[in-house]
Structure 1
Amino acid sequence: MSNGCRSWMLKMPYATLLATLLCIIGVGVFCGCIYRVFTLCLRMFDEVFHFHLDWLEPVQLVCMIVGVAMAALGIMILLVGCLTTGSTRARVFRSRPGRARGRTSCAVFMGVAYILQMAWMLMFGVLVIGCVMFAIFWNMCLSDRVQVLQECIDFRQFAFVFPNNTREEDMQVCGAGEQKLFCKDYVENIQVNLVLSAVGCFLVLLSLVNYLMCLAANYAHIKDQEKFVDLSEMQYLQVSEPGTLAKDRF
């Protein structure tokens, strides 16, 4: 292995790189699947229950923005990790103002990562609830009353979820064609995408935990770098002063 390749590998923050890969993969899976979930939900409410939820589209847009912002944050933290690893740290944070800015950057990113971790944990909880809810709907579709007796799937017990002007017949899914549309085309696909969205969200949570550990370690490394520089300056001053070493010996 050449010296250039070896020095390049020593400068690579592998823990932060692994966290960034987890973040990008998780955000990609989350954004792609959650976009599909909202699209299918809008079509399901329009075609099966015959009403439109206006707030789903803004929530869909917010989820996309949060995912893109999370990926951008991961790349910025990776950049901070590259600057605080190996010999690069000694060159970048040589001066006292530079070390102060480095510690401040790590502290700010740790605070942002902690807040985002709470937000993604809340999102993960919502996705788990959604998975459980659509699993119940899928079990209703597979019940003997629906498959054998061809009874309607009744949602009138969830009337509080529907708009006030919704008719009772719109709260029931009757007929083989409408039941196939609801169960196979929507509920099954939404459930699969919800599970994948939860998996992507979990990967993002893992990446945030790794980011917090890496940022804390980088903060400590920059602080240790400051102590090392101060110690080197003290030794240099002692050596440069005439007679200092001889006095110290006695």
Structure 2
Amino acid sequence: MKPAMETAAEENAEQSQEKKGCFECCIKCLGGVPYASLVATILCFSGVALFCGCGHVALTGTVSILEQHFSTTASDHALLSEVIQLMQYVIYGIASFFFLYGIILLAEGFYTTSAVKELHGEFKTTACGRCISGMFVFLTYVLGVAWLGVFGFSAVPVFMFYNIWSTCEVIKSFQANVTVPGDQICVDIRQYGIIPWNAVPGKACGPILENICNTNEFYMSYHLFIVACAGAGATVIALLIYMMATTYNYAVLKFKSREDCCTKF
């Protein structure tokens, strides 16, 4: 029979060994988390959600403003309505695609990071694995360039609404000065090319323009376009982080494959 003290010491040693093994396992698992890809995925989901959600509602409000104040004839803005409706369907497709693509990139980040750190064997250092990583690098670069264009395009309605809003502020300031008439200050939407030059009335001046700026539709659409533009910018940043993470992982895998090849000889 072993003494009670020796038995207790052995039990404590076994418990400490189990705790140490559990701690090492947790550290090993945390080491395989692709933190860059995780941050990029969260940022990408947030940016795409803001861009798609706010952009969809803002486009609807823009059509309503144009129909009520700048283009009273339906035939004048029929093409614009069809284009905006098509853009809304495109927004649905963008949201669905990037939801799936973000999950795929995050999963690819987990697998590649595990392979780079050799946590679960070298299942990713094969030629097929490197080919898949290279494909994600190329696709992410292409999507990053495309989203730069989307970001620039989303800034156009912000610029247009800002010009209208600033003109309304000028009218308000001129109303305080009785020597300067505010009726001569106008905004012509036709100059932006979104409605034809024969659209009636096509422009708004003075108090009419000020009333447009005070409507809830204008206020909501203006701020929603700003949020949508910010969401597009956040998506661009997320794709840049993806680019850096996927390029780094691919370069390390390429280096490890050459190192393993040279080691065999």
TM-score range, shorter chain: 0.7 to 0.9
Alignment match, 2:23: 2
The 3 A distance-change label for structure 1 pair 222 and 159 is: closer
Cα separation, 2, equivalents of 1:118 and 1:201: 12
Name 1:121's counterpart in structure 2: 148
Matches of 2:220 and 2:146, distance apart in 1: 26
Where structure 2 has 5 or more consecutive residues not aligned to the other structure, the ranges are 1-21, 176-180
> For residue 224 of structure 2, what is the aligned residue in structure 1?
193
| Map of 2:54 onto structure 1 | 33
Structure 2 vs 1, CA of residues 199 and 154 (structure 1 numbering), >3 Å: closer, same or farther?
closer
Provide the C-alpha distance between the structure 1 equivalents of 2:145 and 2:197, rounded to a whole number of angstroms.
34
Aligned pairs (5 A) from 1:177-188: 179-188=210-219
Residue 163 of structure 1 aligns to a residue in which SS? coil
| Distance change >3 Å, CA 154–CA 93, structure 1 → 2 | closer
Counterpart mapping for 1:126-141 below 5 A: 126-141=153-168
- What CA RMSD, in Å, does the superposition of the two structures yield over aligned residues? 2.8
C-alpha distance in structure 1 between counterparts of 2:173 and 2:104, whole Å: 52
Residue 125 and residue 89 in structure 1: after superposition, are their counterparts in 2 closer, same or farther (change >3 A)? farther
- Are the aligned partners of 1:48 and 1:182 in contact in 2 as well (CA < 8 Å)? no
CA contact (8 A) 2:164 2:187 kept: no
Q: How does 1:1-250 map to 2 (within 5 A)?
A: 2-49=23-70, 50=72, 51=74, 52=77, 53=80, 54-85=82-113, 86-88=117-119, 90-93=121-124, 99-144=126-171, 148=175, 151=183, 153-155=186-188, 158=191, 161-163=194-196, 166-167=199-200, 170-173=201-204, 179-230=210-261, 233-234=264-265
- Superposed CA deviations along residues 136-179 of structure 1, whole A, max 9, x for unmatched, are 10012222379735637452763954236523xx2243696775
CA distance in 2: counterparts of 1:10 and 1:212, whole angstroms: 20
Quote how far apart the aligned CAs of 1:228 are: 4.4
Moved more, 61-70 or 143-152: 143-152
Would you say the 8 A contact 1:124–1:198 is kept in 2?
A: yes
Contact conserved, 1:141 with 1:147, CA < 8 A, in 2?
no
Which amino acid letter does the alignment assign opposite residue 129 of structure 1?
Answer: V
Preserved CA contact (<8 Å) 1:83 1:89: no
- Change in 2 beyond 3 A, CA 1:70/1:212: same
Write the distance in 2 (CA, Å) between the matches of 1:57 and 1:192. Answer: 20
Q: Tell me how far apart the structure 1 counterparts of residues 147 and 168 of structure 2 sit (CA, whole Å).
A: 31
TM-score by length of 2: 0.75
Distance across 1 between alignment mates of 2:244 and 2:192: 47
- Counterpart Cα distance in 2 of 1:37 and 1:164: 24
The alpha carbon displacement at 1:92 in A equals 1.9
How many percent identity over aligned positions?
Answer: 23
- In structure 2, what is the equivalent of residue 247 of structure 1? none
Q: Distance in 1 between matches of 2:251 and 2:227?
A: 37
